[in-house]
Structure 1
Amino acid sequence: MELLPSLLSTLKTLDPGTLDQEYSMVRSQTQTLKRDLSLTTEAGALKENIKKNRYKDILPYDQSRVLLSLLTTKSDSDYINASFIKGVTADNKYIASQGPLSSTVIDFWRMIWQHDVKVIVMACREVEMGKKKCECYWAPFHQSAAFGPFTVSNQEETIHTVNFIHELFSLLLLQTSRSLIQYQFLSWPDHDIPYEATGVLDLLERARNSQGTHTSPVLIHCSAGCGRTGVICALDYIHDLLVTKQITSDFSIKKIVLELRRQRPAAVQTKDQYQFIFTAVACMFEQVLQSAKSQLYCNVSELKKPKKKTTTPASSKRLSDQIDMNDTYAVVNKPKQPHPPPTNPAHPAAVQPSKTRSLPLATHYDNASAGASAAPVYSTVKPRIKPHSLKVSATSLYDNTILSSHSPGEGAPSGINREYHLVSAEHLSSTDHDYEDISSPVADKTSLCSAGGIGFNCRIQKPRGPRDPPAEWSHLER
């Protein structure tokens, strides 16, 4: 990955004239390889096989040609104009083949069945520039066609933009059925190049996903099985170098093309196709770098993202809040001034300041009344649901506080119209986030709130009865 930026810069700065000279060197060195490695084409030149070649000057090397061992008739031979191509991780990663003729369609399916091919990449159309470039070796959509002992059913057909078609075939031989996928690239003229590289890279990515973990070779063909086929093999080979992290500082597209030509004659047939490999590889490197950058950005954003608050079940709210309060609010109702001990311990306001920071979960608070369970010290504003344990008197005049009359800024949020009780802490469960500050405890029941403050957190006591009006109110005007 560290080499990609420098390699990408080199690919973008290459001069077209330099690439033309380099391609001329590829052609001359191909002849040297053929002579030094003693590459021969004797099988394809046999009289009985001449008619099986689409082009007389494109014959597979005997050292790398595909031999057919599956025989369907007594007259079947082992010859087909196709070659094995080595990959990064496998010796027979690809089969580079010419487009089948009408006389070789059965041989084509014999090869597919024998090597259990799962993916076919077709880089040509059936007819180009008014000439037949490839025989149709499949059936129309939702139909079946027989080719000798083979029955091919076209089960699915999807057109992806204007570049290629994806089809799903079912191949049947002697009651045994297999499925395979064909990708036909539509935007690649013969002896020419596509108008953009992304279409080819997208097709190859889909083909790799369809191949999955299958170890069978990928069948790639155009018309002659050398020009466009060689470009596709080279691009997929370079992609595998990236995936397996085998891109080195001496990375050379020229060496890769020469290695392809050692296995398949005339692979990458024109200088335009050779230059297109450089363009497509630069696009591939850019995609990889952009993907790595995006992944890094996502990881950094994930680290900076605040953790989501987990919701606590209602049954455990009181317990979890109690633990948090013990740790954070050790002394929650410490009085501002000392008060004498209360005369009525049962009264909810008669609590003593806590002297411990944290208590075990199973112990009682040391400020709880004798014989009482550990009840929360906090009071909470709770929606108007009358507890069953409270007895409401018919004469009560101040059972609740109506917040609907508040305007925004007077202690209630805008738009809220609800009724609330002010209930003592022993009848309530604590909430998740709202902690209410407790004012200083008092013993005088007649006081409405402590001297500590006035407002939301006051404990409002019910008046014992009507009060006498002020003396000045009794004066009647005449």
Structure 2
Amino acid sequence: MAARQVSFIVTDCHYLLTVDIRACSAAWRTNNVCSAEAGSLPSNVRKNRYKDVVAYDQTRVILSLLQEEGHGDYINGNFIRGADGSQAYIATQGPLPHTLLDFWRLVWEFGVKVILMACRETENGRKKCERYWPQEKKPLQIGPFCITLTKEAALNADVILRTLAVSFQKSQEFRSVHQLQYMSWPDRGVPSNPDTVLTMIEEARRLHGPSPRPLCVHCSAGCGRTGVLCTIDYVRQLLLTQTIPASFSLCDLVLEMRTQRPSFVQTEEQYGFLHHTVAQMLHSALQRTSPLCQNLKENCAPLYDDALSLRTSPALPASPCPPGRVLRSSSMPATQSLAMADTYAVVHRRGTPATAREKSERPAVETPLYSQVAPRAQQPGAHPEQAQGARPSSCPADQSPTGPDAYEDVADRAQTGGLGFNLRIGRPKGPRNPPAEWTRL
């Protein structure tokens, strides 16, 4: 994904863009680019919750189920094209008391499996949506539809997931419809955290599966909060299919959706939230797809397989280790199944320059800079405890793994500080002599 694909994150100005969006929408209405004649008919006007939010004729949902019984074809809802060009969403208003039947006609006729609801039934003392599902196990009868609540659970602190069993005209056919209701999204406002919204959308897509049927998305008017949800899911589908174009513009996408449903993404604050959420999604996608980030993830995989490995291991000493002892590295999680790798040399630190008197008192042969050693378990006459890695010392034994990158002390008199403390060095991949630089330490 090229960097230019997310350049709009830096250059977009929320205020100017929302002004442009409003201006374009007003021009469309003035020039009759988006007409709303069907919803303005006297027989349909009362089916609109708000007089300024009427379904566009070009994309409106036309109901045919039960028309023969005298029910009209109008509902305040529009099809919204998805990332693949299909009718991926039905954006509709929250049902009114006298449009409950029309709502369930829509759900049944178009095979809706998942409903996303972005409002409460009542907000700030005003009715925002008529309840179209039963609150208890007792079935709810709406015309020829029988709706039963089979399961209700909290998806997270903000979202409730309900499973409904729906039948039509007392038939034996029952369809399962899932409803996800966001409980804390204020009207004309935004959620406090995009993560809960993304979780809601991801769960909706999991429940929806590969079905070609549309998602039904609604709030009270079916435009502001509904528009945010549809746009986030649209961008998410682009990222999942890796089809986001180099010229991608969030402003252009919102404008395109506004040609299909009036006032889609209604306020500047909602556009800012949408902008922030899309930027977060793009950032996450870049982290997953970037070769550099992928290499870092692979190299660090052992550290993050288990989040508990980031905590301090209880096997490490509770108090500081006494001076003169070097501990293994604690950067790797504790594991008892790894044996200490073979070692081939120990580096000895050069002491401070000796005086002439000290030189005369020292033996003629000095300790070599390095010496050949073997693992404790292979040393002749090793004590059983030492063979298992135990140390005869007052310092508690470190139980960290002794893998090829781990450190282990080799002498109780090991000197600390500087670069020359006694360490066992991991065996190289092939035989070689110690580096010449060692003689210059």
Q: Give the TM-score, by structure 2 length.
A: 0.65
Unaligned runs of 5+ in 2: 303-378, 388-441
Matched, 1:410 2:381: yes
Aligned residue among 274, 280, 283 for 1:283: 280
Cα shift readout 1:20-46 (whole Å, capped 9, x = no counterpart): 111111111123344556321111111
1:2 aligns with 2
Looking at structure 1, the residues matched to 9 and 261 of structure 2 have their Cα atoms a distance apart, in angstroms, of 26
Shift of 1:238: 1.2
Cα shift readout 1:281-339 (whole Å, capped 9, x = no counterpart): 11112222344467544545689xxxxxxxxxxxxxxxxxxxxxxxxxxxxxxxxxxxx
- Partner amino acid for 1:157? E
Shift of 1:410: 3.4
Shift of 1:233: 1.0
Q: Following superposition of structure 1 onto structure 2, how do residues 162-173 of structure 1 map, counting pairs within 5 Å?
A: 162-173=157-168
The 3-state SS of whatever aligns with 2:60 is coil
Aligned residue among 232, 247, 253 for 1:256: 253
Q: Give the TM-score, by structure 1 length.
A: 0.60
Identity in percent: 40
Q: CA RMSD in A?
A: 2.6
Choose between structure 1 and 2 for higher RCO, CA contacts under 8 A separated by at least 6 residues.
2
Unaligned runs of 5+ in 1: 304-407, 417-478
Shift of 1:158: 1.1
- Partner amino acid for 1:246? T
Q: Following superposition of structure 1 onto structure 2, how do residues 294-373 of structure 1 map, counting pairs within 5 Å?
A: 296-300=295-299
Aligned residue among 41, 52, 61 for 1:57: 52
2:270 aligns with 273
Q: Quickly say closer, same or farther: Cα 1:121–1:82, change in 2 above 3 A.
A: same
The 3-state SS of whatever aligns with 1:192 is coil
Looking at structure 2, the residues matched to 262 and 296 of structure 1 have their Cα atoms a distance apart, in angstroms, of 43
Q: Is the 8 A contact 2:92 2:221 kept in 1?
A: yes
Q: Is the 8 A contact 1:44 1:53 kept in 2?
A: yes
Matched, 1:179 2:150: no
Shift of 1:208: 1.1
Q: Quickly say closer, same or farther: Cα 1:191–1:414, change in 2 above 3 A.
A: closer
1:451 aligns with none
Q: Is the 8 A contact 1:198 1:283 kept in 2?
A: no
Shift of 1:13: 6.4
1:148 aligns with 143
Shift of 1:255: 0.5
Q: Is the 8 A contact 1:92 1:217 kept in 2?
A: yes
Cα shift readout 1:152-195 (whole Å, capped 9, x = no counterpart): 11111111232110111111112211001111011210011111
Which piece of structure 1 moves more, 238-247 or 153-162? 238-247
Q: Quickly say closer, same or farther: Cα 1:302–1:234, change in 2 above 3 A.
A: closer
Looking at structure 2, the residues matched to 161 and 76 of structure 1 have their Cα atoms a distance apart, in angstroms, of 39
The 3-state SS of whatever aligns with 2:231 is helix
Shift of 1:246: 2.4
Cα shift readout 1:417-462 (whole Å, capped 9, x = no counterpart): xxxxxxxxxxxxxxxxxxxxxxxxxxxxxxxxxxxxxxxxxxxxxx
Q: Quickly say closer, same or farther: Cα 1:132–1:296, change in 2 above 3 A.
A: farther
Aligned residue among 72, 75, 80 for 1:77: 72
Cα shift readout 1:251-286 (whole Å, capped 9, x = no counterpart): 111110111110001111111111111111111122
1:190 aligns with 187
1:234 aligns with 231
Aligned residues between the structures: 309
Shift of 1:199: 1.3
Q: Is the 8 A contact 1:88 1:241 kept in 2?
A: yes
- Partner amino acid for 1:46? L
Looking at structure 2, the residues matched to 236 and 35 of structure 1 have their Cα atoms a distance apart, in angstroms, of 30
The 3-state SS of whatever aligns with 1:204 is helix
Larger of the two Rg values belongs to structure: 1
Looking at structure 1, the residues matched to 41 and 32 of structure 2 have their Cα atoms a distance apart, in angstroms, of 21
Matched, 1:215 2:186: no
The 3-state SS of whatever aligns with 2:87 is coil
Q: Quickly say closer, same or farther: Cα 1:53–1:232, change in 2 above 3 A.
A: same
Cα shift readout 1:185-237 (whole Å, capped 9, x = no counterpart): 11210011111211111111111111110000000000000111111111111
Q: Is the 8 A contact 2:67 2:73 kept in 1?
A: no
Aligned residue among 115, 120, 129 for 1:125: 120
Looking at structure 1, the residues matched to 296 and 139 of structure 2 have their Cα atoms a distance apart, in angstroms, of 50
The 3-state SS of whatever aligns with 1:209 is helix
